[in-house]
A and B are shown apart, each in its own frame.
Chain A
C-alpha cells in the first residue's frame, strides 16, 4: 500500500534574535540584533500508511507542531521532501486542502461571534458538501459528540469542552482522509477528555481515516494510537509500537503490593527488584522483569498478608517522564540499550 505521508530529510530552520530585558535592551535591539538560527526540525524521516493512528510525542518545543505545520502546508520546509496524500503540502492545492483537516486545541477555528451552525454552513460551501451528506454527517457527528443542543449558541458563550467538541465536528464534516490533531484535549476535564477520545475511536472505526495526534496526556496516546513517534530537539528518537516504547528502558513492569500491616523485615523476595516503600511500610512498588511477574507475585501473595496488588496502568507515562528528564536515554538512531 502507498504511504499517505512521506517525509525525507525534512528540515525547518527559523531565525530569531535575542533581546536583553528592560528599556536599554529594547533600545539596543533597534540596531544590534544577534540573529540565531534554530533548527526546529532536523533531518526528519517518516512514512505513515493510510488508516494509521499515530502519536507524535515530545517535550515542548521539540518540533512536533512544526512538523504538523509542514504536513498541512501552513509553513514551507527549509530542506527535504514531503508528500501528503500524493501532494506537496506547501503548494496548497485546493484539492489537497479538501482532503485534510487540522484541529488545534490551543486555537479556535470557529468564528467567535456567530453560532457554530453558521460556521458549519460556511464550511459546507467551502468543502462543496451536498445538502444530503451535510445533513447526515451533521446528525451523525453531533450525536456522537452529544452537542445537538449547542449548535445555535454563539461560540464565545460556550465552555471550552463544548467548543472543542464543535471544533472537532467542524473539522470532520468534510470526511477528510487525514486528520491532524494538535493537543485536542488540552485544558479539558477528565470526562470531556474521555468523550473526545471515545469519539475519535468510534469515528476511526467507522471511517478508517488516518489520524495524527500530538498530546502531552499519555492517556490520549495509550487510548488512541498503536504507533508512537518520539521527537526531541527536532529529530526522531523513537518510532514503533507503544508496547515497544514502554520497554525501551528495560523489560520491567512495576507491581505494587499493599499489606494489611507494616512490613519491617526485609526479604529476598523483593530485595532484587528495587523496592520502593511508602513511609508506613505498608506499600511497596517493585520493578519486576516481565518473565518473572507471575512467579514473584504468587510467591509474595502466599507468604505475606497482601490486601491488594496492582500492575501499573500507564507504563508509557513513566517511560516518557524518564526520557523527558534525561533525553540522552534515547538517541537519534533509536533507543540506546540499557
Chain B
C-alpha cells in the first residue's frame, strides 16, 4: 500500500512537469495529427491521383491506404507517444545520482513517468481518433476487437517503453546516444509498418519479420482495426514475452552500467 502511494505521488509530480510549459504541451498534443494531415494525407492522395482512378498499391485503394495510416497514427499515439523521453541525459550529466540516493529506484521513477504520460496521451489519442472518424478516414471496428486492440495497445506501450529504456541505458557506455536513438526509432518505425504497410515488403522479408517484435507493434493492430485480421490471443503472449526479455536485459545492463558510472560533476 505504501508503494502504491509512492507511485501515485510520483505520477502527480510527472503531470506537473509535463504540463509546466503550456505551449510545449499543446504542440505535443496536436503535433502528430497535424503531421498526419499535412504529410501523409496529402502525400498518398497525390500518389494515387497520379496513378489514375481505382488504382491500388499492394492491394490498398486510396481509402484503404488512408485508413491504414489513420489507424497507424492512433496506434502510435496509444503506444509510443513516450518515445522522445530521454534517459541518457540523466546518465550523462550525472542527474541519476539523485535517484540513486532516494529509496525509490530509477526505473520506478521513469516507469511512473511513462504511466503519467500515457494517462495524458490516451484521451488525446481518443480525441484524434474521433476527428478521423468524423472525416470518415477510419471506421470503427466491432466492440470486441476494438476493446482487444486497446488492451493490446497497453501491452505494446510497455514493450516500446522497455526498448526505449534500453536505448537510453547505452549512455553508460556511449557519451552521446542521440543518433543511436534516432536510428533505432526510424528502423523500428519502418519495420513495424508505420511508413508503408508490411504487405508491400517482399514475402520472405515480412515472414522473417514475424520472428521479431516489430510487426506486432503497429502493422498487426492496424490490420485488426481495419477488420482484415482477427485478433489472436497468442499475440498478447508474444508481446508480453518480448517485453519480459527486454526488461531482463535492461536489468542486467543497468547493473553493469552502474558499475561504470562516475556521476559526472556529482
Contact = CB atoms under 8 A, between A and B. Distances in A.
A100 B101 CA distance: 8
Contacts of B227: none
Contacts of B98: 107, 109
B242 to A, nearest CB: 29
Contact of B261 (A74, A94, A101, A124): A74
Given A97-B103, A125-B9, A76 B266 contact: no
A126 B13 contact: no
A291 interface: no
Nearest to A126: B104
B141 interface: no
B100 interface: yes
B263 A74 contact: yes
B251 interface: no
A127 B97 CA distance: 17
Interface stretch (A115-123, A263-271, A326-334): A115-123
B16 A74 contact: no
A113 interface: yes
B101 A97 contact: yes
Nearest to A180: B101
A112 B212 CA distance: 40
Interface string B88-127: 0000001101101111100000000000000000000000
Nearest to B95: A107
B233 interface: no
A65 B266 contact: yes
Interface residues of A, number: 34
Given A94-B103, A97-B101, A14 B262 contact: yes
Contacts of B17: 111, 113-114
B49 interface: no
A189 B102 CA distance: 29
B94 A107 contact: yes
A89 B70 CA distance: 52
A325 to B, nearest CB: 26
Contacts of A126: 6, 102-104
B2 interface: yes
A117 to B, nearest CB: 11
Report, nearest first, the 8 A-B pairs whose CB atoms are least far apart.
A113-B20, A114-B16, A97-B103, A125-B9, A94-B103, A125-B6, A126-B104, A109-B98
Interface of A: 14, 65, 69, 72-76, 92, 94, 97-98, 100-102, 104, 106-107, 109, 111, 113-114, 118-119, 121-128, 154, 182
Interface of B: 2, 5-6, 9-10, 12-13, 16-17, 20-21, 94-95, 97-98, 100-104, 258-259, 261-263, 265-266
Given A74-B100, A97-B101, A111-B17, 15 more contacts: A73-B101, A74-B97, A104-B97, A106-B265, A107-B94, A109-B101, A111-B13, A111-B16, A113-B16, A113-B17, A114-B13, A119-B13, A125-B2, A127-B103, A128-B2
